[in-house]
């Protein structure tokens, strides 16, 4: 799995193909979509039109909450493949655990079937807390390959990251740039960017990479799409990393996974 990919949440369906084409041209080889983003078709079209061999691009999609449950998951997966125009995805994720609905164990069994059939090269989860991962662990089956969680300098997620490290689960950061909000105006990050001759977004993405997180920044602006992958020519020092560690405030931008139970 490439450590840096391209996320397409909130990219309108009619713009998705253009954005993904720009990302592929900029060198991205991993795309993160979801049934809920309603742009799997555009992603699939850009992949087909790119002419790139299928095995060169890592494609992730996610099962939407409304489809949790064994049979409905199998049907939803077929529908995602059809919209993407693919036979196989590289990674299939349960989008949210929805603990009150309590169907994620049955859903995971369907994921294991899809995996055993080779139609997803890897299966994982998103927004799972350690308690939810523990429940999957107790089944004694396949360990999720990835947990995709909200993670940025203001929500550094040290407890889940440690759990993932202990269990061989990859940490993937969603909203890695804090959704482009006022995080990017942070003065410490501004100083580090000036010191390294890079942008704040590049410093934040570099911080993720050096921590070992997989990142999937989103942009529909070609210059930013290129900027966000131009992060492999510099290195933050231990002191820089320590300064960014100080920025954690445990502030979520998205839903709390323990209370998000909506299939709407």
Nearest-angstrom CA–CA distance, 139 and 133: 10
| Known catalytic residue at 37 | yes
Query: How many Å separate Cα 258 from the centre of its chain?
Result: 19
Tell me how many degrees the CA angle 208-210-214 measures, rounded to the nearest 5.
Answer: 45
Structure tokens given for 76: 């939803």
Among 27, 85, 180, 212, binds ligand NAD (CB under 6 A): 180
- Using rule CB under 6 A, residue 126 touches ligand NAD: yes
Q: Residue 200, SS3?
A: helix
141 vs 180, beta carbon nearer ligand NAD:
180
Q: How far is the CB of 9 from ligand NAD (least distance, A)?
A: 3
Among 68, 171, 175, 213, binds ligand NAD (CB under 6 A): 175
Q: How far is CA 248 from CA 154, 168, 186, 206, 255, in A?
A: 4, 24, 12, 16, 18
Q: How far is CA 185 from CA 44, 56, 192, 263, in A?
A: 35, 36, 12, 34
Among 68, 227, 229, 244, binds ligand NAD (CB under 6 A): 227
CA torsion 65→109→169→96, rounded to 10°?
A: 10
Of residues 141, 138, 158, 140, the one with CA closest to residue 149: 158
Tell me, by CB under 6 A, how many residues bind ligand NAD: 25
- Using rule CB under 6 A, residue 174 touches ligand NAD: yes
CB 84 within 8 A of CB 43: yes
51 vs 249, beta carbon nearer ligand NAD:
249
Q: Where are the alpha helices (DSSP H) in 85-129?
A: 104-116
Nearest-angstrom CA–CA distance, 135 and 131: 7
196-215 binders of ligand NAD (CB under 6 A): 201
- Using rule CB under 6 A, residue 147 touches ligand NAD: no
- Using rule CB under 6 A, residue 81 touches ligand NAD: no
Among 57, 145, 177, 192, binds ligand NAD (CB under 6 A): 177
- Using rule CB under 6 A, residue 218 touches ligand NAD: yes
31-50 binders of ligand NAD (CB under 6 A): 32
Strand partners, 91: 60
116 vs 181, beta carbon nearer ligand NAD:
181
Which span sits near ligand NAD by CB under 6 A: 18-26, 46-54, 114-122, 176-184? 176-184
What is the side-by-side strand order in the sheet with 146-150?
6-7, 30-32, 58-63, 91-94, 123-126, 146-150, 170-174, 214-215
Which span sits near ligand NAD by CB under 6 A: 82-90, 128-136, 156-164, 172-180? 172-180
23 vs 201, beta carbon nearer ligand NAD:
201
Residues lying near ligand NAD in the complex (CB under 6 A) = 7-9, 32, 95, 126-127, 148, 174-180, 184, 201, 216-219, 224, 227-228, 254
Active centre residues (catalytic): 37
């Amino acid at each position: 799995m490439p450590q840096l990919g391209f996320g397409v949440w909130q990219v309108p369906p009619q713009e998705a193909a253009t954005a993904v084409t720009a990302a592929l041209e900029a060198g991205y080889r991993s795309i993160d979509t979801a049934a809920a983003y309603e742009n799997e078709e555009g992603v699939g079209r850009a992949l087909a039109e790119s002419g790139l061999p299928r095995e060169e691009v890592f494609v992730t999609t996610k099962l939407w909450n409304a489809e949790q449950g064994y049979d409905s998951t199998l049907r939803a997966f077929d529908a995602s493949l059809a919209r993407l125009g693919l036979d196989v995805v590289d990674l299939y994720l349960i989008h949210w655990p929805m603990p009150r609905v309590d169907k994620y164990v049955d859903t995971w069994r369907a994921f294991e079937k899809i995996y055993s059939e080779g139609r997803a090269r890897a299966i994982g989860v998103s927004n799972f807390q350690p308690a939810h991962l523990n429940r999957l662990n107790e089944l004694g089956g396949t360990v999720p390959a990835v947990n995709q969680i909200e993670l940025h300098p203001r929500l550094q997620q040290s407890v889940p990251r440690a759990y993932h490290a202990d269990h061989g689960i990859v940490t993937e950061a969603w909203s890695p740039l804090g959704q482009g909000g006022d995080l990017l105006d942070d003065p410490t990050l501004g100083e580090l960017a000036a010191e390294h001759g890079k942008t704040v977004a590049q410093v934040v993405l570099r911080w993720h990479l050096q921590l070992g997180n997989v990142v999937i920044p989103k942009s529909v602006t070609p210059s930013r799409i290129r900027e966000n992958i131009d992060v492999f020519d510099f290195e933050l020092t231990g002191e820089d990393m320590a300064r960014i560690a100080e920025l954690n405030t445990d502030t979520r931008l998205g839903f709390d996974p323990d209370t998000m139970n909506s299939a709407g």
